[in-house]
Amino acid sequence: MSAQIKQKSSFGVAQIILFLSIAILVIVVAFPVLLILFNAFWVEDHFDFANTISILKQPATYEALMNSIIIASMSTVGSTIVGTFFAWLVTRTDIPYHNFMKSMFLVPFMLPSFIGAIAWKMLLSPNAGLINKFFMENFGFDGPIFNIYSYYGISAVEIMYLFPFVFIQVCGALERMDPTLEESARISGAGLMTITRKITIPLVMPSILSGALLIMLYSMAHFGTVAVLGIERGIYNIPVLIYERIHQSGGSFDSIRLGAILATVLVISAAIIIWAQRKILSTGHYQIIGGKSFRPTQLKLRGLRIPMMLFCFAYIGFTIVLPTVIIFLVGGLSTYGLPFTPENLSLDNYKFILFDFDVTRDAIFNSVTLGFTAAVITMFAGVMISYVIVKMKVRGKGILEFLGMLPFSVPGSVIALGVILAWSGQFGINLYNTVWIILVAYIARYMAFSLKANSAALEQIHDSLVEAARACGATMWQSLKDIVLPLVKPGMLAAFFLIFLPSLRELTVSIMLYAPTTRTIGVAIYTLNEDGETVISCALAGIALIIIVLGQFVINHFSKKAGV
């Protein structure tokens, strides 16, 4: 056996992987974010905080800041109420068809909110909105019954698309909650209202808050809905103001600096929100909700059972079916504004955008190739980085763990600005106006998804499986290839689709980075709609919805097979 025993080479594979992982995260995420922070405070040749403050105090900036906060707060509160209520309804009452409703309430997760905003604009804009017009013409209303170009309108649309964040968290918590906790309160003589108030709500509170904070984070940095519904009446939030300024000035220094300052505000808010979320999730309350699945006791709705069911169906019909139908119908019209009669409707627009119109054809090609490339790269980078964080024992891992948290807390609009600062030639590489800058930004934006999916998969692979391979004579590389990769494949596949699908409808990042030839689907829908090409824009939105829904079916199929 002596012959078999060889000296270990000094070549440290572990160090190389660690170095690569750190390099990827630094280049893709940390460096752009640092540049933003630097630009926010650096004027000419020195740090100038007073200047930063004075820019924040400018009316336009200040207003955008306040708008972000107002809209985010309204959307968060509204989504939390809607999400918690529906979650309780489908998990804890005897409402009919609760499984069907549960999956329907998750549909908005798939739908891009800016497409929804476009639909609602067509339905509820003050003068041309179909619903408003219908009421004015038929019921003698003097003015619109609801103006979607308002804080309420914007928040309402955001609520429709964001409430699933709370819904899914609360459903999970309610389903996993030990029913004996409630039963023992019942035995002690507490009534149902008391139990709900004193036992159930405090127990699911961490889930509610954590979902609410996610919505807050998302809404503050959200571009699409505000851009579609707010600009008309001068309602700007932070990402929209950044976009408008940079777009109008063609990327002037002042606009970039303003963007950097506003982005810094977003980064800081995001950091606070993420910190608060972690704090909430680590409180003792959460441990009472175990991993086991119980059959919770259901509340009998009795007389309210049918009205509640009808209410849910009305909600689903009004917020999910109606806007989707409108998109497809308008996409079929020859001219926007014509009534939806058979002679006005055809598939011509769909044919046109798929085969003849180079803008939309390019956009579809760009989005698919960008999404695919970003998904593949991010999937592999993510599995490597997660491997170091979850499995490897190597010095310097702490840095990587810190860097690995960054992608979770950097909003899309910040990433877009960061890559402009980093890759526009100041550091020797100029990717501006090319498709590559969008690719880099996508990788940064979706790294968090990949890290999450891959870490989860890796955590399920027990260390002894790899050690057993090493004991069988496999080198580290062989054990990675033969054992780790095959077992982590479901996680990688999940990561791929988690990136590929959202990137098909991505708007926040691409809108900041696109050039005439590098439009993505999201950018094309948005700009066509801004240019008044409503029917074309809706047809493209319809195609996008079809691709997204089909993709979701593929995901569900694969994840069921892989048991993820």
Partner 1 sequence: MDIIRMEGITKGYPDHPVLNDLNLSIKKGECFTLLGPSGCGKTVLMRLIAGFETPDAGRIYIDDTPVADLADHIDVPTENRGLGVVFQDYAVWPHMTVFENIAYPLKIAKVPKDELKKRVMEMVDIVGMNGLDKRYPSELSGGQQQRVALARALVGKPSLMLLDEPLSNLDANLREEMRFEIKELQRKLGVTVLYVTHDQEIGLAISDRVAIMDANGNIQQIGTPWEIFEKPVNPFVFNFMGIANFIDVRRENGAFLVGNGNQQMPWPTLPEGDTNKWVAGFRPSDVNISRDGAGLRGIVRRANFLGATMDYLVEIDGTHLRTAIETHHAIAKDLVLKAGDQCSIEFTALHWFEAEQLKGVHEE
Q: In the set 6, 292, 295, 302, which binds partner 1 (CB under 8 A)? A: 6
Shortest Å, Cβ 398 to partner 1 = 14
* Residue with smaller CB distance to partner 1, 58 or 460: 460
* Residue with smaller CB distance to partner 1, 6 or 302: 6
Exposed e or buried b per residue across 433-472, where buried means at least 16 C-beta atoms within 10 angstroms of its C-beta = eebbbbbbbbbbbbbbbbbbbbbbbbeebeeeebeebeee
Residue 99 interacts with partner 1 (CB under 8 A)? no
Interatomic CA distance for residues 54 and 151, integer angstroms: 26
Shortest Å, Cβ 287 to partner 1 = 24
Shortest Å, Cβ 484 to partner 1 = 10
Shortest Å, Cβ 528 to partner 1 = 47
Output phi, psi for 424, to 5 deg: -110, 25
Shortest Å, Cβ 455 to partner 1 = 19
Q: What angle do CA 167, 169, 174 make, to 5 degrees?
A: 90
Query: Which residues inside 188-207 make contact with partner 1, applying CB under 8 A?
Result: none
Shortest Å, Cβ 479 to partner 1 = 8
Query: Which residues inside 513-552 make contact with partner 1, applying CB under 8 A?
Result: none
Residue 292 interacts with partner 1 (CB under 8 A)? no
Interatomic CA distance for residues 389 and 30, integer angstroms: 17
Interatomic CA distance for residues 490 and 457, integer angstroms: 7
Shortest Å, Cβ 14 to partner 1 = 12
Give the DSSP per-residue string, 158-191. Answer: HHHHHHHHHHHHHHHHHHHB-HHHHHHHHHTT--
Shortest Å, Cβ 201 to partner 1 = 40
Exposed e or buried b per residue across 3-40, where buried means at least 16 C-beta atoms within 10 angstroms of its C-beta = eeeeeeeeeeeeeebbeebbebbeebbbbbbebbbebb
Shortest Å, Cβ 391 to partner 1 = 13
* Residue with smaller CB distance to partner 1, 189 or 473: 473
* Residue with smaller CB distance to partner 1, 1 or 187: 1
**383 contacts: CB under 8 Å, gap ≥ 6:** 450, 454, 458, 488, 491, 492, 495
Cross-strand partners of 177: 289
* Residue with smaller CB distance to partner 1, 1 or 50: 1
Q: State the CB neighbour count (10 A cutoff) for residue 557.
A: 10
Residue 341 interacts with partner 1 (CB under 8 A)? no
Shortest Å, Cβ 471 to partner 1 = 4
* Ordered alpha helix ranges (H), 221-345: 224-230, 238-249, 253-281, 305-316, 322-332
* Residue with smaller CB distance to partner 1, 5 or 50: 5
CB under 8 A: which stretch of 1-9, 142-150, 223-231, 550-558 binds partner 1?
1-9
Interatomic CA distance for residues 123 and 229, integer angstroms: 12
* Residue with smaller CB distance to partner 1, 77 or 474: 474
Q: Is the separation of the CB atoms in 257 and 40 below 8 Å?
A: yes
Shortest Å, Cβ 454 to partner 1 = 17
Exposed e or buried b per residue across 313-336, where buried means at least 16 C-beta atoms within 10 angstroms of its C-beta = eebbeebbebbbebbbbbbbbeee
Residue 7 interacts with partner 1 (CB under 8 A)? yes
Shortest Å, Cβ 478 to partner 1 = 6
Q: How far apart are the first and last CA of the chain?
A: 43
Say which amino acid occupies 11. F
Interatomic CA distance for residues 179 and 200, integer angstroms: 10
Residue 1 interacts with partner 1 (CB under 8 A)? yes
Half-sphere exposure of 200 (CA within 13 A, CB side): 26
Q: Is the separation of the CB atoms in 528 and 536 below 8 Å?
A: yes
* Residue with smaller CB distance to partner 1, 7 or 287: 7
Cross-strand partners of 42: 47
* Residue with smaller CB distance to partner 1, 278 or 462: 462
Residues 404-443, mask of contacts with partner 1 (x by CB under 8 A): ----------------------------------------
Q: State the CB neighbour count (10 A cutoff) for residue 364.
A: 21
The position carrying tokens 């809108």 is: 511
Shortest Å, Cβ 182 to partner 1 = 35
Residues 458-487, mask of contacts with partner 1 (x by CB under 8 A): ----x-xx-xxxxxxxxxx-x---xx--xx
* Residue with smaller CB distance to partner 1, 2 or 99: 2
Q: State the CB neighbour count (10 A cutoff) for residue 515.
A: 12
* Residue with smaller CB distance to partner 1, 17 or 64: 17
* Residue with smaller CB distance to partner 1, 6 or 292: 6
In the three-class reduction of DSSP (H, G, I as helix; E, B as strand; rest coil), residue 30 is classed as helix
CB under 8 A: which stretch of 3-11, 113-121, 254-262, 326-334 binds partner 1?
3-11
CB under 8 A: which stretch of 98-106, 173-181, 291-299, 457-465 binds partner 1?
457-465
Shortest Å, Cβ 13 to partner 1 = 10
| Site size for partner 1 (CB under 8 A) | 25
CB under 8 A: which stretch of 6-14, 181-189, 194-202, 344-352 binds partner 1?
6-14
Q: What angle do CA 256, 261, 263 make, to 5 degrees?
A: 90
* Residue with smaller CB distance to partner 1, 5 or 193: 5
Q: Is the separation of the CB atoms in 501 and 551 below 8 Å?
A: yes
* Residue with smaller CB distance to partner 1, 226 or 466: 466
Binding site for partner 1 (CB under 8 A): 1-2, 4-8, 462, 464-465, 467-476, 478, 482-483, 486-487
